[in-house]
Chain A
Amino acid sequence: MSSADIYRELILDYYRNPRNFGKLEKFDITARDTNPLCGDEIEMQIRVGEGNKIEEIKFVGKGCAISQASASMLTELAKGKQLEWVKQVSKEDVFKLLGNPDLGPSRVKCALLGMKVLKTGVYGYLGAHYEDADSSDPMA
C-alpha cells in the first residue's frame, strides 16, 4: 500500500476539519496522553448521560494526520454509545475507521493514541463508579 492510500481524502479531511474538536464546559470524564516518539497529544472529555451513555464527547490534540483523524473518528463512533461499549473497542475497529491502511509498527502507535485515551478515561470512570453501578456490592 502506498502513502497515497494511507492519506486518503477522508483522513486529510478529518485532519484539517476534525469533528468533535474542542473542550466541554461540563464533563464527567477527562483523559490525556502523549506519544513521546513524535509528540502526538490527545485529550478527551466526556459527559455521561442517562443510562451511562456517552452524551457528549470532544477532544483536543496536536500531531500527525493519522493520530488526529483517528481520534476524531473515534469520538464520532463513541457518541451515543454506552460506556461499557468502550471496553470492546479494538485496534481493528480503529484501523477500519481509517480504511485499513498498512501503517507499519511506528505509525500504529499514532493511530491508537485516541483509543488509548478513550479507554483510560472510561475505565477510570467505570472503576470509580463501580459501587453506584453494582448494588450487590459485598462491601455495602
Chain B
Amino acid sequence: MLKTEVFDVQKVREDFPILKRQVHGKRLVYLDNAATTQKPKVVIDALVDYYSRYNSNVHRSVHTLGEEATAAYESARAKSAKFVGAPPKELVFVRGTTEATNLVRFAWGEQNVKKGDVLVTTLMEHHSNIVPWQLLAKSKGATLKFVGLQADGTLDMGSFENLLREAPKLVAVTQCSNVLGTINDVATICAKAHSAGATTVVDGAQSVPHFPVDVGTIGCDFFAYSGHKMLGPTGIGALVGKKHILEEMEPFHGGGEMIKEVFLDHSTWNDVPHKFEAGTVNIADAIGLGAAIDYLTALGMSKVREHEMLLIDYALKTLHEVKGFHHYGPEDSKKKGGVISFNFADVHPHDLATILDEEGIAIRSGHHCAQPLMRWLDTESTSRASFHVYNSYDDVDVLKAGLQKAGAIFKV
C-alpha cells in the first residue's frame, strides 16, 4: 500500500534520489528521520546550482554574483522565518539547534544569569537543551532544575508549577520529544514561565519538520530548529529570537560581518540578525534549506502532520501485535510526533539494529542524546523508528517482519 489517505507516497519517493538505492540487496527502508532526513532532488539541485552558477560571498560584494548570492541567502532567511511565523530580522542562521542553544547560553546567559539563579529544563530534553544550561549554571553558580514526567511520558505540570515558584531566570523546553514523541503545550508553558519572570527557549528540532509551527502563538523568547531534520542540508539551522532581546544581547562570535565599525579600542555591532552571524555564513546550505522549505510548503505541513499521524496509528497497532514489543511514550497520535521508541524483549537495541540493517531497515538505537530520560525510563537505550513524508504503511510492514526475524534469531 503506497498511499496514505493524505499523500501519494510513491510519487513523493521519486523526489528522493537516495531512496532508489539498495542496502544488503533490499529496498532502503529509512526510519531514522528523527536523526536526519533524506534530501529531495530540489534541495540537492539548489546546492549544485549555487556552487555552479553564482557562488560568491554575501553582503559585501558589489558584483553580479555577490548580489545574486546575497539575494538568495536573504530569501532563504525570509522563507525560514515565515515557515515558523517569525519576521526575517528575528531569524539568525546557525549550524543547528545545538549552536542555537549555545548562542543563547553565551550571548544571553553571560549577561543575564547570576549566582544563585535557578534555570529550568525538563527530563525529556535532548542533550542540546540540557548541557548548555549545565555549563551556564556551573560558570555562574546557578542551579539547573528539571521538570519531571508523568507515567504516560508527558510533562508533570505540577512539578513545573512548583519550579516556577522559585522564580527561574530561564525555562528551556522541547516542543516535541525526540525519544517519546510527546508534543508539549509550549504556548501554555511559555505563558506561565513569563508570568514567573523567566526567559523562554523552545527546542523545535523535532516539531518544525513534522507539523505547522507558529512562534507568535507559542510566544517564546527564543526558538531553535535544524535544517537537516526537515529535508534540508546539514550545517544549517535557525535561532529565532524576539527583536528587543536580540538587540540587548552581546554578540556570540566576534569577527567580520557582525560589526558596524571597528576601532582599536572598541567596535560597534551590526544590526540583528547580522550581529550574530560572524564570518562568512553558510550560504549554500541556507539556500538549500530554503529549497527544502519550498518543498515542504508545497506538500503542506498540515498534510505532513496528518500523514504522520496515520503512520503512528498504523505502526503502533501493527507493532503491538509482535510479542515482546514494548513502546515508550504516548499511545495517542494526537499527543505524539512521528517517533516510536521501543524495546523488543531482551534483544539489545544495537543487536536489533544490526539484524534490521540486513533487511535494509535503518532505525536508530542507543540513548538518542537523552541519557537523563533513559534513566527515567529505567533503560540504557531504546530502538527508535521515526517517520517522514516518504514513509508509508509498507515500511511499517517491513519493520514488523524485521522484528519477527530478530525474534526468531533470538528465540524470543
Contact = CB atoms under 8 A, between A and B. Distances in A.
A7 B352 CA distance: 11
B366 interface: yes
Contact of A6 (B354, B366, B367): B354
A63 B380 contact: yes
B349 interface: yes
B365 A3 contact: no
Interface in A63-98: 63-66
Interface of B: 346-351, 354-355, 358, 365-367, 374, 380-381, 409-411
A63 B348 CA distance: 7
Interface residues of A, number: 20
B354 A107 contact: yes
Contact of B409 (A4, A39, A62, A64): A4
B313 to A, nearest CB: 30
Contacts of B351: 7, 64-66
B350 A64 contact: yes
A104 B350 CA distance: 12
Interface of A: 2-4, 6-7, 12, 16, 37-41, 62-66, 104, 107, 110
B355 A37 contact: no
A3 B354 contact: yes
A4 B359 CA distance: 12
A9 to B, nearest CB: 9
22 contacts: A2-B358, A3-B354, A3-B358, A4-B409, A7-B355, A12-B411, A37-B366, A38-B365, A39-B367, A39-B374, A39-B380, A39-B381, A40-B350, A41-B380, A63-B348, A63-B380, A64-B349, A64-B350, A64-B351, A65-B347, A65-B351, A104-B354
Contacts of B374: 39
Nearest to A66: B351
Nearest to B365: A38
Contacts of B365: 38
A65 to B, nearest CB: 5
A110 B366 CA distance: 13
Nearest to A3: B355
A6 B347 CA distance: 14
Contacts of A63: 348, 350, 380
B380 A62 contact: yes
Contacts of B411: 12
A66 B354 CA distance: 11
Nearest to A65: B351
Contacts of A107: 350, 354
Contacts of A104: 354
